[in-house]
Amino acid sequence: MGQNKVLTLLGFAAKAGKLFFGMDASVNSLKKNRARLIVTAGNLSDKSRKEISFYATGKNVPVITLLDCDIETLSKAIGRKAGIVAVNDQGFAKAISEAVE
């Protein structure tokens, strides 16, 4: 997995204003059909992971879990404390998905 590339892309997306940070903002983004991809940290609680997956599955939005990336590392990459981010740009979502494969 190109985790460093994923974190770099997430940093660019954050600077471009294409991310929503945290559970509430990500769920709202899904409900408004704006989210194209959900990214979670590897050490996110099972409860939070199940909750965001429930909403994402209902909207056919993929969820990527960065297994080797903890909340602190993800937060550092995006410039805000968050274990869940919603990517609201198709270009960034595609690039991040490809970097994970």
* pLDDT, tens digit, 9 for 90 and up, residues 5-33: 999 999 999 999 999 999 999 999 999 99
pLDDT at 101: 79
**Among residues 53, 17, 18, 28, which one has the least CA distance to residue 38?**
53
pLDDT at 100: 87
Decide: 64 and 96 in contact? Cβ < 8 Å: yes
Q: Find the domain containing 85 and state its range.
A: 3-100
pTM score of the predicted model: 0.95
CATH, residue 33: 3.30.1330.30
Which residue ranges of the chain lie beneath pLDDT 50?
Answer: none
Total domains, the chain: 1
